[in-house]
Chains A and B, each alone.
Chain A
């Protein structure tokens, strides 16, 4: 079962084999991610923050190819900066998600990244958008990355409409913790970002502070 790999580790693509999640609550959103970046079997970075800023109150969660996802996020960050100055106010979350979608769709054959865009704007409150493969869809919550497959059952069962901010934060932390314990490509620490009218608050939860479940 243990085979020697003939290719060196530098030849495998660097993927953020990942767990990412974003949830809406009344008045904002909570985004969460793990922190493992792998190149094949090697963990290249065990503390990467996959929650990337697009604007003051709009973040995106990165998954898939690390380079593709980071580049898309940087491009959209730039475009939103220009856009918000042109229109003279904070951009809508939908605008950020549309910009991400336009890049993902146009270059879908060349890119392999999935970004979940979430944030707060004054018109729509907290919003979560999914942009997988170039589609655009608003959802009350979304999960992504390799670790998400292990937690679909959990999120579907545990999600309730009308959760408070603290409930959402707990829900996100629990989900990431469970995914990290089952998915080999997810691990490290958990990063959390909570966005509401007042702004964005970033938090890092270390490995030993994460919630434990029956097998831990």
Chain B
């Protein structure tokens, strides 16, 4: 659904006659051009998966990470303009740090996502600045409140989710996520499913090489957000590749 808002789309401080702020919608289009990131909440934690497109063979492996650590117990996966996302991760870090300094404990994820969303929203109010061109998914695990997952988009809204996807293949990813019974799964089971979903939604034709970034936070990591260890990641990628081959095989049988 693309429409041109001629004349009403030059600044974020202008409404169009049908009540839209086009600059914010254009910012969301920037997110849709980026590769996919997903976050899923399960029984005992949260798992993030990012399809990191490798644009050049000269890149060092592991550079341009799209999953950030915001606090010990909070992780953030992003899609959209990476520079905007990095700047927002610093904002989120500062919020979490100030909260801990003032109140003496971990920031609740709902509160953190509301604070960062408020910050993102502020940039949609003035013509002097442009909105942030990135969406991000925040996840955390806490002994008392369990796993939490929130998503913030360029308009400055934050929603809580059991599973969500952002980026170019978000619709396809959402369909796959909806098939999962995430409330009954553990992190170890979920890691494999997340890898599989990223492999499924990756478009071999349009985009060539990609790196799979996987991270988790939950009981399995004692509440600390970290990148998935190498052996778990390799197992998950193997599971993902094997499942894809199985599907290819079953397609051939039908022919």
Contact = CB atoms under 8 A, between A and B. Distances in A.
A136 B102 CA distance: 13
Contacts of A101: 104
Interface in B103-147: 103-105, 108, 110-111, 143-144
A136 B103 CA distance: 12
B103 A98 contact: yes
A87 B99 CA distance: 11
Q: Which of B101, B104, B108, B144 has the most CB of A within 10 A?
A: B104
A128 interface: no
Interface residues of A, number: 16
Contact of A98 (B104, B110, B144): B104
Contacts of A162: none
Interface of A: 83, 86-88, 91-92, 94-95, 97-99, 101-102, 122-123, 136
Contacts of B110: 87-88
A167 to B, nearest CB: 28
A87 B111 contact: yes
Contacts of A95: 103-105
Contacts of B104: 92, 94-95, 97-98, 101, 136
Nearest to B111: A87
A102 B103 CA distance: 9
A86 B111 contact: yes
B113 to A, nearest CB: 12
Nearest to B114: A86
Nearest to A101: B104
A207 to B, nearest CB: 38
